[in-house]
Structure 1
């Protein structure tokens, strides 16, 4: 059906496209144009119709990185500023505050997560200060990582070691177990 419509349209408009144009001036000085010859008219040769052909579109490259995503992912520098590496922490409740320094600031959607003894703790968040509690006695490792909105780790800090000292039952007067 579509081809038939195009064919009929071409048959109707083709003679119009190849018509000759005539120009003449009447007794009052008015210029006239027509497709029919008039006494004293001259034939006009028109230049070809100006057309535009857009340049070919390059095929999409499969290996190209989306520039919007590349611009959103800066090279972060993340470090644990508190506690210091090899710090000894004495706290009866086993609590420790972890403070981070991040350069540049986090992009929207990027979050921070603490890694305690090799295991991510809690959900990633935008805060740069964390409070860990109920940490058992002994040596522990801490690291921080920046997680993108897609859940992938973008950057990780250096791992530090902390030493938690908590009193045990029997060390504090009045906490001895009775047999």
Structure 2
């Protein structure tokens, strides 16, 4: 009886060692679609993967100063949707309607300023729609600037060029 008990104890002790050795064998191969397939049993064309026997140990980090992430600031994009770039606006009074787009959605506290030929047209306002009056004929450049609640410039639109066509005062029939 003691011999049987001794044999059972030896088997129980050696089984984890045998299982550990078997668990370390991993095989890799590519399937018909070229995807890597890992397995613990060898297949035709599979290669055994060898592992480093050293444990993967990393030193502990200093936790005396908690790491705090600042929330990512939203990146706003500003664009002019009217008039379109290189468009000709025909208006004898010199009126031009400018409309802008802010993405992501326009938020409370943001302000928009319109620049015409590099000059500010008015104080920043809470929407991106502007009406220009008595603009001279010819080429003009528009740009929108977006400001946050503190008055800090956070985004600028690309420059849009438009051409204002007004009938001649000297020769009204000429184009």
* Rounded Cα–Cα distance in structure 1 between residues aligned with 2:165 and 2:172: 13
The equivalent of 2:111 in structure 1 is 111
The equivalent of 1:151 in structure 2 is 151
- Unaligned stretches of 5+ in structure 2? 1-63
Rg: which structure is higher?
1
* Rounded Cα–Cα distance in structure 1 between residues aligned with 2:148 and 2:109: 6
Output one character per residue of 1:3-24: Cα deviation in whole Å (capped at 9) or x when no partner.
xxxxxxxxxxxxxxxxxxxxxx
Cα displacement (A) at 1:120: 1.7
Cα displacement (A) at 1:110: 1.1
Cα displacement (A) at 1:150: 2.0
* Rounded Cα–Cα distance in structure 2 between residues aligned with 1:95 and 1:155: 26
TM-score by length of 2: 0.56
Cα displacement (A) at 1:149: 2.1
* Rounded Cα–Cα distance in structure 1 between residues aligned with 2:149 and 2:127: 15
The equivalent of 1:142 in structure 2 is 142
Matched, 1:121 2:121: yes
TM-score by length of 1: 0.55
Q: How many residues align?
A: 110
Cα displacement (A) at 1:77: 1.3
Pairwise mapping of residues 18-167 of structure 1 onto structure 2 (< 5 A)? 67=70, 73-167=73-167
The equivalent of 2:170 in structure 1 is 170
Output one character per residue of 1:75-103: Cα deviation in whole Å (capped at 9) or x when no partner.
01111111111111110110111111111
The equivalent of 1:48 in structure 2 is none
CA-atom RMSD in angstroms: 2.5
* Rounded Cα–Cα distance in structure 1 between residues aligned with 2:129 and 2:109: 18
Cα displacement (A) at 1:121: 1.4
Q: Match of 2:135, SS?
A: coil
